[in-house]
Structure 1
Amino acid sequence: MNQLPDTFVGFDLETTGVDVENDRIVTAAMVEVLHGAPRRSRKWLVDPGIPIPEGATRVHGITTKMAQREGVNAIRAAAQIAGQIWGVLANGIPLVIMNAPYDLTLLDRECRRYDVTPITEMLADAKDGIVLDPYVLDRRVDPFRPGKRTLESLAEYYGVTLDSAHEADADALAAVQVTQQILRCAEDDRAWNRSTHHHEVFGQDLGVLHGQQTLWFAAQSAGYQTWLRRTKNPNAVVNGSWPIIPAPQVVADAA
């Protein structure tokens, strides 16, 4: 079995909404986790340059006035956050992100908006870059378990403490600890119908897992899209790109 690295880094964003093409960063955090415990962290409070909707404020607690008064300029924040992401990827440190296509895509669009090197280019250039997504991993190892797959739900299932959900640093730390629990699990007696794929994750090289998640997420998304079209919306489309959704212009240029 391959031993897990000593160090992982968790990353999380809180934003103005859920539209990765148009919404903006409000808070961000990166937490370095050494031997399962937080070692150091870096946090950003950002003035997104647009009003923060009340619905978003109810989730993360940051108002427009707070962000304008205390937040760093969005251009500077995008450059700083992207630089930290590059440092992690380039050094082959596992970067853990719950629902990576959301956070990385929104950050990529912020970078493009402010003429910062896009995250898609960083991922392509970081030959040893590893992204791990507990959402994808959990759905792979225990695909039939009923119930939600939110970070709060996963933390509860895997026995991870998450006291301040929707605070970026707390979520980043919990994502790492949940991921480590999944990676260490050879089998799970609680699994739905005892039908699990833990053997596909346990002891696996993390570089291999990075690539496997691309395939798993595509299959998971296709299955969800089929279910939606059959039960709710015949025209439903579910993104299947992982760990980042290609930018619309990049897709158009490639067509």
Structure 2
Amino acid sequence: MSESAKSRITFTLLAAVVRPVLNLMMARRWEGIENLPKGQGFIACPNHVTEIDPLVVGHFFYSQGYLPRYLAKASLFKAPVLGPALRATKQVPVQRGGSGAAASLDSAQAVIDAGGALIVYPEGTLTRDPDLWPMKGRTGAARLALQTGAPVIPLAHWGAQDLLPRYGKMLHLFPRKRVRLLVGEPVDLSDLRSLPLTKAVLEEATARIMAEMTTLVATLRGEEPPEERWDPSSKGQKPVGRGYEQDTEKKK
């Protein structure tokens, strides 16, 4: 049996267990499906507000006939339970530097060449913005898009954080949560694709991706986003973590 067939079987078994459970916990609504590219692979860039985001986004793509492939930290592939699952479903490990980086790029390119959906969180981690708006993005997704030539599809979801709050340990099952996911049109990077991958080019591409994603989040929330994007590296902004959130809760 080929590796591709084994991966599909693994996906099918996992989906048979996970998707019904998700449907019980949340009332979902998928929007903008017509914006998914037809007949070609692409890079999907979602916002990241809670640890169960990958399940929600994966649920969406599986429903559209894709076997979702995530760009994930290489260290996760060594975890006792998660590691074998990631390897069995042919997720893409992020290797840093040298031959490792080349191997990551080759794996990403293979997903795209096969017409697949490669999911990359451009923020790199859960947003640190206190109000859960997309924060300043990292350049990894932009670099990958410009290196592979793949279209970038921004998407946003909202509501999963009510099921499992950011950094939360317990699911809030009742009442049943409402989760919406909205797919946007491809991000226009056409004028950047022929340029050298300088810091300025990567930052411009990243800014465009984050701007489109933020617009989608604002649409789902029915609110205006902040004028400035949260920058966790700025000395004037306090990173959001377990301690910060606990202190905030005590003050309420």
Q: Check whether TM > 0.5.
A: no
Structure with greater helix share of residues? 1
Normalised TM-score (structure 1): 0.30
* RCO higher in structure (CA 8 A, sep ≥6): 2
Q: TM-score, normalised by structure 2?
A: 0.30
